[in-house]
Amino acid sequence: MESVCQKLKVTRMKLKELNTQEFNSVGAKVQECRQRLEITQSLMRDQQHASELFTIERDLIKELERWSGVKESIVKQKSRTKWLQLGDGNTAYFYANLRSRLAQNRIKHLTTAQGNIVQKTVDIEKEIKEFYVGLLGSTAVQIPVVDIPIMKSVNCLNRVQQQALIVPIDREEIHAALLSIDDQRAPGCDGFNTLFFKKA
């Protein structure tokens, strides 16, 4: 089990590196592709333009579509919106949903145990800290233990089921579990975007 945890930590570090290298400045890459495309198309207006510009333009359009799709996918995942399909170009809608989620997740005011309402960030932080210090700092007079008769009175696993719980995990099972993850799931702290690698 310890080796699995170590491998997961290494994988997480690699995914963070990948996120930093590939997805840290997606917006800038989209903007850069658009500027290069505009310059190429302006050069094509000249009657004496080289035929290679058509190939350059085609490659730039593909690159712009690719990075625009990645950007839209990231914003869509963060906004938790699932009913729109990627490619609709509703980035503004996704940003609006993202702002709405951030507003919902923010604590604007808090009612204390004494019934007072605090709204300042400093007071809210102080109240939360005092609450958890009191909660975690309290001592229990009696620690509850497992009641064996009650545990035996309910359904228990048979020997075959117990053995199934400790069967080693193989690569095929891990691969199947990874492929079952929805593309529209929001990335975790590593920012890993599965859709990008499936399209590439």
Render pLDDT for 23-56 as a digit per residue (tens, 0 to 9). 778 888 888 888 988 888 888 877 677 778 888 8
- Token representation of residue 50: 């080289």
Indicate if the alpha-carbon torsion angle 184, 185, 189, 195 is positive or negative. negative
Q: Nearest-CA neighbor of 119 among 128, 108, 130, 105?
A: 108
Most confident of 22-26, 58-62, 77-81, 144-148: 58-62
Q: What are the residue boundaries of the structural domains of the chain, listed by start?
A: 1-79
The size of the chain, in residues, is 200
Highest average pLDDT, of 82-86, 87-91, 111-115, 162-166, comes from 162-166
Helices (H), 23-158: 26-44, 52-79, 91-105, 121-137, 148-153
Pick 101 or 34 by higher pLDDT.
34
Q: Convert the pLDDT of each residue in 132-172 to its tens digit.
A: 887 777 666 776 777 788 877 888 888 999 898 898 888 88
Q: How confident is the model at residue 19 (pLDDT cuts 50, 70, 90)?
A: confident
Q: Residue 4 pLDDT > 60, yes or no?
A: yes
- State both tokens at 189: 């702290």
Counting residues of the chain whose pLDDT is more than 90, the rounded percentage is: 2
Tokens of 10: 């290494």
Asked whether the predicted pLDDT for residue 194 surpasses 50, the reply is no
Say how far apart CA 2 and CA 150 lie, in whole Å: 33
Angstrom distance (rounded) from CA 9 to CA 3: 10
The confidence score (pLDDT) of residue 80 equals 67
In terms of C-beta density within 10 A (0-12 exposed, 13-18 middle, 19 or more buried), how is residue 76 classed? buried
Q: What is the pLDDT of residue 160?
A: 92
Per-residue pLDDT tens over the stretch 106-141: 788 888 888 888 888 888 888 888 888 877 776 667
Q: How far apart are CA 58 and CA 76, in angstroms?
A: 27
**What is the reported pTM?**
0.44
Task: Reply yes or no on whether the pLDDT at 196 is more than 60.
Answer: no
Residue 157's pLDDT is 85
Per-residue CA distances from 102 to 78, 97, 105, 107, 120 (Å): 10, 9, 5, 10, 18
Whole-Å CA distances, 162 to 58, 146, 158: 59, 20, 6
Nearest alpha-carbon partner for 41 in 19, 60, 26:
60
CA–CA–CA angle 84, 85, 91 (5° rounding):
70
pLDDT of 190 > 70? The answer is no
Mean pLDDT of 13-27: 79
Q: Which of 123 and 199 is assigned the larger pLDDT? A: 123
